Structure 1
Amino acid sequence: MQSGAWPRLLADVGGTNARFALETGRFVFEEIEVLRCADYPSLRAAAQAYLGVVSARMPGLPAVRHAAIAIATAVDGDVVAMTNHHWSFSIEAFRRELNLLTLEVVNDFTALAMSLPHLAPHQRVQVGGGSPRSGAPIGLVGPGTGLGVSGLVHTREGWTALASEGGHVSFAPNSDLEIELLHAMRREWPHASAERLLSGAGLEFIHRIVSGGRTRSAPDITRRALEGGCDDCLLTVDTFCAMLGSVAGNVALTLGATGGVYVGGGIVPRIAALLERSAFRARFEAKGRLSAWLARIPTYWIAEPYPAFFGVSAVLSHTTTERPGH
């Protein structure tokens, strides 16, 4: 990449917060700021506010000419409209308004997937055994507001993220309690998907069933489970982790993900201590005749707080290196 490509503007935009950073060298992220989406009328306004603050802090900062945005919505064509916030914009108009040569906009889970080959050992925590095969497919699951599923395959052009709606696969129970959860879901929805359970709302649903109808919020459930003072909350989180292991194992089988399977999303970092001593890894491997094969595949949870910056940086690097004049 030409030295004139630095600094670059990176953003990770969710329904509540927009995270911004300046990339001043390969994977060197500075001036990270988290802005509340509700405080700005548009993504452009938030980006301009961020750049204004950074310019004041860093006199003589070269003009930003390249940018990449990860956003929590589908990206298909020029117009991007968020599903969980009112922001919408034209990619081309945004590029012109910020006087950018290059602007890449990708789905946030695509960015998370693209980050995986670039995470250092201290940015991930292995759960269980196994060793990754170099260049082999990599799997990704991410419980949060929903359940994201993706993967990476290596081609002659580098890593490519797979677009997927794998979180909506049909839920497959593996215990009497999970069969009870399946019946409860079918009473409420026409399709009992994995996402209905492996998400923030899913934690609340599981707790409602195991507690006999009591309602708690997902943060309250995880807090009480970690503190150890609520048996129903601990059972809820243990059940969640076990089912997540089964889904991660399914992703590994489907993709042949011998490069490893990663768990991202907003929930797991909060319950990592419980995940690591749960049935997650046992259920990942519990695939009958394929159990020995799965035992060789490592599983990790992502400990890096801003992994999407690595992903959008990788996407942007691929784009800008294809444009020799930039």
Structure 2
Amino acid sequence: MTIFHSRIALPALLAGASLLAAGAAQAAGNDAWPSKTVRLVVPYVPGGTSDTLGRVLATHLTESMKQTFIVENRGGAGGITGSAAVAKMAPDGYTLVISGVGSHAIAPSLPIKVPYDPMRNFTHIAVLGGPPNVLAVHPSVPAKDLKGFLAYARSQDGKLNYGSPGNGTQGHLFAENFMQITGIHMAHVPYKGANPAVSDLMAGHIQTLSTTLSTAAGQIRGGKARALAVSSEKRIADFPDVPTFAELGHPELVATTWFSLSGPAGLDPAIVQRLNTEVRRILKLPDVRKRLLAEGIEPNDLDPQQSTAYIASEIKRWAPVVKATGASVN
């Protein structure tokens, strides 16, 4: 009888030991991450809000994780190109992406084939936050406020143009939604990123610009562009003289061009939690918060589950706007 029990117990003990060894190996693997350079893909050209957030994170994660985090700008198709590349990577924690409203909330509703599902093909780690949209004009435009601009735009009968970071970006959709609500007409001039659009506004090649406040902040402060309104719920502390669309009678034009940190689907929960904790700590650092708020970027503080739920809700929010505007992508 004793021999019979011994024969059963030995395989069970061996199996238990194997499970413990596997668990220990997995824990060791998690502890060892990152053991080499981590690529942080910014799916836009340098200089925009996503680039700013990516470089802030890369700098501080390199310091705290004791391993190099590098930013790789891979722009194209409103953030779709770079995001698609990351979706195909191994979920080992060594390739991450600055996802966001354009690539992961707006793109699924565009009349194009997006080569990924924003929820099924990604692990969402943390919502970083982002700036509101701003409607800005060249100093030569005679309107001094939004009411004056609307009257001026109507008098031009569609001859005004506006620039955005590209077809299908939130800057584009926001401006189209603005025109639908106010009944004005402007011609859209899409750019491959926010920086070229800002440059052309300063040069006077376009009269109006719809982009993130952070992208145009320097030009607004320097008097090279005039901000008419921002899409935040309340005025931005660093831009107290710029009213919100809501206070000017357009509460439906409250929106944020948010960005987030994501990785390929199947990313180890331990890595996700570690990154989320670290990213939230970084966003609370006084110097980081000061830098971001100066550009109109309000940092978020959501855990992985809250971040995933938020992104899902934004997909539902922007779908009818995309459909109503008939937006496409470059």
User: Fold match, TM over 0.5?
Assistant: no
Task: Say which one has the larger Rg.
Answer: 2
**TM-score, normalization: structure 1?**
0.29
The structure richer in strand per residue is 1
The structure richer in helix per residue is 2
